[in-house]
Amino acid sequence: MNKIAYLYVFDTMADWEIGYLTAELNSGRYFKKGANKYTVRTVGLTSEPLVTMGGVRIIPDISLGICTSDNAGVLLLPGGDTWLDPIHGPVMEKAKEFLHADILVAAICGATLCLAQAGLLNDREHTSNDLDYMKAVIPGYTGGSLYRHEPAVADRKLITASGIAPLEFTHMVLQELDVFSPQALEAWYKLYRTHDAEYFYALMGSLQN
């Protein structure tokens, strides 16, 4: 089955935080047999061009208003400098819609702050960049007891991650989507984590099974 990985794009988006993930989802190069195929589709608040933190100019494939949960596999929310701005309110409504439809939502770095602001982290285990900072900037946040000091956390179709953990974020999303075999996922993660060539050969070997 073909699924869509919706990538929310906006001015100041942190390009590098989702690079590992979008490359693997869109290419499917290490997917196990029978896994859903994914197409990455960028979605903006409007269809107007925007510029990422890295200076990359992007024209969104679609606007948020016509993004639906039909055939969606995941909604990806990268970090950026503007997540505490009310402008992102509509994408939080979209995140709620996706979660209600049992579709994975994955947020990293600053995007977790907006989730907290929307009340989506008050009853789920989660992480972010720093608990004290989250408490300081999100007055309505009451999920402190569920905060986990880990690189990435998954709970009921919602993944959150620290901005310094794009690799762990990718690992957890790939695991939740169940597109790699366990052997391939472990080898892939260790290859990028350790830079040891033995895991490249382990990854290639896992694809023969």
- Nearest 5°: CA angle at 197, between 183 and 208? 40
Tell me whether residue 114 is one of the annotated catalytic residues.
Answer: no
- For the residues 154-181, what does the mean pLDDT come to? 98
Residue 163 half-sphere exposure toward CB, CA atoms < 13 A: 14
- Quote the distance between the C-alpha of residue 43 and its chain's center: 14
Compute the residue count for the chain. Answer: 209
- Burial track 53-85 (b if 16+ CB lie within 10 A, e otherwise): beeeebebbeebeebebeebbbbbbbbbeebee
What is the predicted pLDDT for the residue at 1?
81
* Choice among 99, 109, 113, 152 that is catalytic: 109
| pLDDT confidence band for 209 (50 / 70 / 90) | low
